[in-house]
Amino acid sequence: MSNSGRLAAAPLRDGGTPETVWAAAGLDLPALELSTCPDLVVVGAHPDDETLGFGVAMTMLADAGVRVQVVSASDGGAAFPDATPRQRHTLEQTRRAELHAAADELGVSTPISLGLPDGEIAQHERHLTDVLVEILAGRPAGTWCAATWRGDGHPDHEAVGRAAAHAADVTGAVLVEYPVWMWHWASPGDGAVPWSRAFAVPATSAAITRKTAAAAHFRSQFTPPEPGGEPVLPAYFLPRLLSVGEVIFR
């Protein structure tokens, strides 16, 4: 199910599949029924995954009175591979603070940060599964566990998705998977995407506005680390996600 090869073959500088291609495809997906969610745990590999991939759903459910708990597997310290250990530590603290600010913006609970090593989550997959089982076991029956999709292409995203799937199997939680990088390497009708399991989050304009504001807190990812440098996430990245809307696989 891994699509890491697809993502590796679609470098960021090339832009991936443009938002205009996705818009022209007119994806006609059934609406996700948010009212069936009694409680929500959202798991991301790095701070910002949860907001970029599921922020609209999170804020809409929180507004409806649903308890929303974010769990970040890593603090995203490997975003700049050439960083010194001290720079990496500083970035981890920055990204954790950005995550808390985004969560406040979306109106959800204080995030849980697990501090697993960025880029190596697959090596700690069993531990992550155990932690998620513990978190989900204390939640009401039918709790949703939303996690990065197991086929998203980024190895950390896929490892988080696998861990969440195992934890949901153990606890009886309802697994929903949200893509982030899929929109970059895939194309409409792509056979590697489980479209038959896809649902669209019915977004309101207010929720989109809050997601946009929450995403803006992740300045370390959207602004160059130094003058003349390149940001981790290119300028086209967020507009494309906002354009395609939120989709989950269930």
Q: Report pLDDT digits (tens) over 27-44.
A: 999 999 999 999 999 999
Q: How far is CA 155 from the centre of its chain?
A: 13
Give the mean model confidence (pLDDT) for residues 140-145: 97
- Eight-class DSSP state of 172: T
Helix (H), strand (E) at residue 200 = strand 198-200
If DSSP codes are grouped into helix, strand and coil, which group holds residue 73?
Answer: strand
CA 65/CA 147 separation, integer angstroms: 21
Residue 226 reports pLDDT greater than 90? no
* Alpha-carbon torsion, ordered 79, 83, 89, 90, to 10 deg: -90
- Confidence at residue 110, expressed as pLDDT on a 0 to 100 scale: 98
- Confidence at residue 13, expressed as pLDDT on a 0 to 100 scale: 87
- Confidence at residue 90, expressed as pLDDT on a 0 to 100 scale: 95
Residue 179 reports pLDDT greater than 90? yes
Return all residues near 123 (Cβ < 8 A) that are at least 6 apart: 117
Residue 230 reports pLDDT greater than 90? no
Read off the tokens for 135.
Answer: 């978190």
What integer best gives the mean pLDDT of the chain? 96
Q: Are the C-beta atoms of 185 and 174 separated by less than 8 Å?
A: no
- Eight-class DSSP state of 181: T
If DSSP codes are grouped into helix, strand and coil, which group holds residue 81?
Answer: coil
Q: How far is CA 213 from the centre of its chain?
A: 16
Which residue, among 75, 69, 67, has the nearest Cα to 98 in the 3D structure? 75
pLDDT band, residue 227 (cuts 50/70/90): confident
59 backbone φψ class: left, alpha, beta (φ>0; ψ -120 to 50): alpha
Give the mean model confidence (pLDDT) for residues 107-126: 98
Helix (H), strand (E) at residue 212 = helix 205-215
Return all residues near 82 (Cβ < 8 A) that are at least 6 apart: none
Domain at 4-249, CATH homologous superfamily: LmbE-like (3.40.50.10320)
How big is the chain, counted in residues? 250
Q: Are the C-beta atoms of 96 and 116 separated by less than 8 Å?
A: no
Residue 229 reports pLDDT greater than 90? no
107 vs 78 pLDDT, higher one: 107
Return all residues near 95 (Cβ < 8 A) that are at least 6 apart: 46, 47, 48, 75, 76, 77, 79, 218, 220, 221
